[in-house]
Amino acid sequence: MIQVENLHKRFGDLQAVAGISFEIAAGEIYGLLGPNGAGKTTTLSMLSGLLAPDEGRIRFDGIDLASRPLEVKGMLGIVPQENALYEDLSAQEHLRLWGGLYGLTGSDLTTAVERVLEWIGLTGRDREPVKNFSGGMKRRLNLGLGLVHSPRAVLLDEPTVGIDPQARLNILEVIRQVADAGTAVLYTTHHLEEAEKLCDRIAIVDHGKVLAEGRLDELQKMVGGEEVLTLRGDFDSETLATQLTDPSLVRVLAKEEGRLVLATLEQDGGRGSVDLLSKIFALGVSMDGVSIEPPSLNGLFLKLTGRQLRD
């Protein structure tokens, strides 16, 4: 349904996107994970037609976005990170407005609005002004605006930011229902657990590139037996990295002032991170904190990017 080929986008000296490619099938939820500045939002902006890529091609169901933008946008739903709501309008008024902009009229519009209100759990509150809504209710309505016209593909930019766990669960359930009905979903998030539970496939991106892609089980296999250690404290990262680096035991993932991220592989007869920490303490290194990430998807993310997902 969605085909993205070799996208590039530069802003002055900044290469925001540097050759991203992926495909999303109808009914599939595809997670795009990356730390801040990884290129996710720029990629979504190009897919939505807000930005033109410097290079590359975007197609929806075989239709080229650059050559037939209005046709593509008619089949596309977009849910931005910021709520696109008017405080004095009701939920029903919002949905009728957005449905009308997509060409729905009469009974078709009424049916679409009623369907979405039921999906997002606002049927009994649909005539109240949005200013009376909680943060979670606003997020659910924001999601509904991107779904009212039954799009064939939906772009979701962190739709659960700043809401409570129950509201987040409701939104995730709606997204799964939408995908099960055959809609292709592109989903960005800063919640790794959301991607693990929701997404059929996941791409890890950083510096405008896809670093790894696959189903959850495929990505977990890429983790191997490595643990990831993050050290913080009053030390020279360059010097400490030189003292600790042993290609057979340790890889340096990231180093900056007062922070060093290492991957350590369990060895026969050894204890991996425990042995490494013993060596660090023996060097008399001043540390404020140590975290150990066992083999996991979060560990893979750290290995590939040198950063936490929410950094």
Q: Please report the pLDDT score of residue 156 as a whole number.
A: 95
How far apart CA 199 and CA 74 sit, in angstroms, is 25
pLDDT tens string, the chain, 311 residues long: the values are 999 999 999 999 999 999 999 999 999 999 998 888 888 989 999 999 999 999 999 999 999 999 999 999 999 999 998 898 999 999 999 999 999 999 999 999 999 999 999 999 999 899 999 999 998 899 999 999 999 999 999 999 988 887 888 888 888 999 999 999 999 999 998 778 888 889 999 998 888 999 889 988 888 777 666 777 888 888 888 888 888 766 667 778 778 888 888 877 655 444 567 777 888 888 888 888 888 876 667 767 776 776 665 55
Distances (CA, A) of 210 to 46, 84, 168, 222, 244: 16, 29, 27, 15, 29
Answer yes or no: are the C-beta atoms of 205 and 182 closer than 8 Å.
Answer: no
Q: Please report the pLDDT score of residue 296 as a whole number.
A: 66
Residue 166: Cβ-neighbour burial (10 angstroms; 0-12, 13-18, 19+):
exposed
How far apart CA 66 and CA 52 sit, in angstroms, is 8
Q: Please report the pLDDT score of residue 222 as a whole number.
A: 74
Which residues on adjacent β-strands are paired with residue 20?
Answer: 7
Residue whose structure tokens are 């060097």: 283
Q: Please report the pLDDT score of residue 225 as a whole number.
A: 61
- Tally of CB atoms within 10 A around 110: 14
How far apart CA 199 and CA 181 sit, in angstroms, is 15
Distances (CA, A) of 173 to 83, 100, 119: 19, 26, 9
Answer yes or no: are the C-beta atoms of 307 and 244 closer than 8 Å.
Answer: no
Q: Please report the pLDDT score of residue 99 as a whole number.
A: 95
99 sits in the region (left: phi over 0; alpha: psi -120 to 50; else beta) called alpha
Residue whose structure tokens are 């055959």: 182
How far apart CA 186 and CA 2 sit, in angstroms, is 9
Q: Please report the pLDDT score of residue 310 as a whole number.
A: 53
Distances (CA, A) of 200 to 32, 63, 151, 167: 11, 24, 19, 22
SS3 of residue 7 by DSSP: strand
Which domains does the chain possess? Answer: 2-75+151-217 (3.40.50.300), 87-145 (no CATH), 225-294 (3.30.70.250)
Q: Please report the pLDDT score of residue 292 as a whole number.
A: 80
119 sits in the region (left: phi over 0; alpha: psi -120 to 50; else beta) called alpha
Q: Which tokens go with 307?
A: 């950063």
Polymer length in residues for the chain: 311
Q: Please report the pLDDT score of residue 270 as a whole number.
A: 47
Distances (CA, A) of 252 to 34, 267, 298: 20, 17, 17
Can you point out the beta strands (E) in the chain?
2-11, 14-24, 29-33, 55-60, 63-64, 76-79, 153-157, 184-188, 201-206, 209-214, 226-232, 250-256, 259-265, 289-293
Q: Please report the pLDDT score of residue 55 as a whole number.
A: 95
Amino acid of residue 7: L
